[in-house]
Every structure is written in structure tokens, then in C-alpha cells.
Chain A
């Protein structure tokens, strides 16, 4: 027991808040309460007393049914004790309880569909993956994706984004298929090349964070689409590599990228479009 206590003291002095799960259940109760007591002194009493923690939100509103009206920011307050931890929970709660006309896209609530992409406190992320900042003195500002036409409130018009995705022909193109009619085979090393590329959910967070995409949206493809172009360029099963590279042989589709790297910074799935674009540029040069 003594050795356990000392190791616990070391742990709690070094790490505030992150408790390793591998402690035995007999130690767990005392250990957790002592670590929590040192780490967050305010959270336990607040939960016990049930006093409401009101967080302020400012949300971008615009109604296309009154096209002459200007967009505005509307203030909302949400009790964080009655709300889930993510921004999407707060926005849904506001829509349910305060203003039913608030319009936004959402679907999976787990960061896999890419519908709820929006600009929260200056960063493009998915609302379902962005935790609400528990600092009650700060107002959280919610905007739609920057430099996109707005359909209503937080809903951007992504038709051009989808058209650009269609233009790169994001499907397998082969001259012939295996004779036995079964799968086109791929080695494990070749499959590893697709890791970090296939996980893209096309949320448009990266493309709408790129200043180059803001200024040349009609001609520059943008990081998301270029990441997918690279995904098909590097797929060993695809035979249309030369045609794909030929489609990028102009001054605008690929070469408007100036390695600003906002894309990799903002990707909510942790992907690296900037690196993929650099790899494309390298393969175009060689």
C-alpha cells in the first residue's frame, strides 16, 4: 500500500487530470478523488451545487426569405450543465429550446460524415468534434465556412466544391480487369500509401481555410480535392495516372498552392493535404 501511495503522489504532482486506467479497483476511489481534488478544485462543487453554468454564443444569422436584410450575429446563452460537451450539442439545444429557425447541417454527430463543418472561434472544424470551451467569460463565435456563399444561417453553398470533386474523376480507371473476375489485388505496401488519404470525409474545412482558394475558387481545386487527386494518383490499382497528371498541367488547378498550410492545420480528421499537394508537385516535376 505504501509503495502505491508514493507512486500516486508522484503521479498527481506530475500530471494534473490524466489518470491512468490501469489502477486496481481498490485504489481507484481514493486515487481518483485525490487526483481530482488537486487538479480541478471547482468542478466537483459546481456539479454538486447544480448552479447553472451559462455560456454565451454568438451565431451568424441570415434569412434568404428577406434577401435585402444584412447578415447579423445573434446572442444565445446555454447552461452547460444541461448540455453535451460538443458545439453541435449546444447548437441543437439552441434550436430545440430557443430559436427553431436556426439552420445548420448535421448528420452523424461523430465526426465521420462532414456535414457540420463550420467556423468556430476562427477555426474551421466539425461542430460535433469541437468541445465547448468551458471558460464562461468568453463568448464563442460561430460562423459558416469562410468565403463561401451562404444558403441560410450556417449552411454554405458547396455545389462548386462538389463539381470540382467530380472533375477529377474520383473513381478507379483501368484498361483491363483480372481474368478470374475477382478483386484487383494490391500489395500491403501499396495499400499503406493510401493511409492518410482515404480517410478524407470531404467536409471542406481545409479548402475553405485556404486564402488561395478564397481568391481563385473557380479555377484552383483546393486542398481537399487535391488530396483526393493524390489518393488516386498513388493508388497502384489505377491505370489513368498519366491522364490525371495531364489534367493538372496548367497554372491554376494545382499551382495556386503557395504552401500556406492552413489546410493541414485545420483538418478536423488530422490529415495532411499540404503534404499531399507537395507530393503531387514532386511527381509532376519528375
Chain B
């Protein structure tokens, strides 16, 4: 969903942005040479579904759940790089 009016964000939009922020915070803890890879990967994951209508709650909630799950897995210290 594309955020057009940044003044009033809906609850779901705030959740998506908060997930993106958590991802960026997790990327900060990654080794410096692979930070760029993680960034590109995260952006691609979010941009893939940018065209979903903002009223399609089920899909957005499913993608949020999937995103949180992936964040939990990738935040592990053992994950040091990602293929892009």
C-alpha cells in the first residue's frame, strides 16, 4: 500500500512502518560488509507488495505476520549475509 497522505496514518500503516523500522534496527547489528545486502533484501520484500489496496486487511495482516516471522529468524546472530 502506498502511503499518500503522511498526516493521518491508519493503524495498519503504522504497523507496517513499525515493522520496517524494526528491520532497519536489526540491520544495524549485522556485519558491515553485508549491511547493504540486508537493506536491499528488506526493501525488495516490502516493495513486492506495494500495490495492495489499503483496505485488503487479510492480506496485509498475513504479510505483517510473515514479516515478523522472517525478522525473528533473520535477527539471529548466526545469519551474517543474505543473497540478493
Contacts and interface: CB of A to CB of B under 8 A. Distances in A.
Nearest to B66: A64
Nearest to B60: A67
Interface string B32-51: 00000000000000000100
A149 B63 CA distance: 12
Interface residues of B, number: 9
A68 B52 contact: yes
- A interface secondary structure, majority: loop
Interface of A: 64, 67-68, 149, 159
- B interface secondary structure, majority: helix
13 contacts: A64-B62, A64-B66, A67-B49, A67-B52, A67-B59, A67-B62, A67-B63, A68-B52, A68-B56, A68-B59, A149-B62, A149-B65, A159-B69
A65 to B, nearest CB: 10
B52 to A, nearest CB: 6
Contacts, number: 13
In the complex, the 4 A-B pairs of residues with the closest C-beta atoms, listed nearest first: A67-B59, A68-B59, A67-B62, A67-B63
A168 B63 CA distance: 30
A181 B59 CA distance: 56
Contacts of B52: 67-68
A149 B68 CA distance: 14
A64 B62 CA distance: 9
Contacts of B59: 67-68
Contacts of B65: 149
B44 to A, nearest CB: 15
Contacts of A149: 62, 65
Nearest to A69: B59
A72 to B, nearest CB: 14
Given A67-B62, A67-B63, A68-B56, 10 more contacts: A64-B62, A64-B66, A67-B49, A67-B52, A67-B59, A68-B52, A68-B59, A149-B62, A149-B65, A159-B69
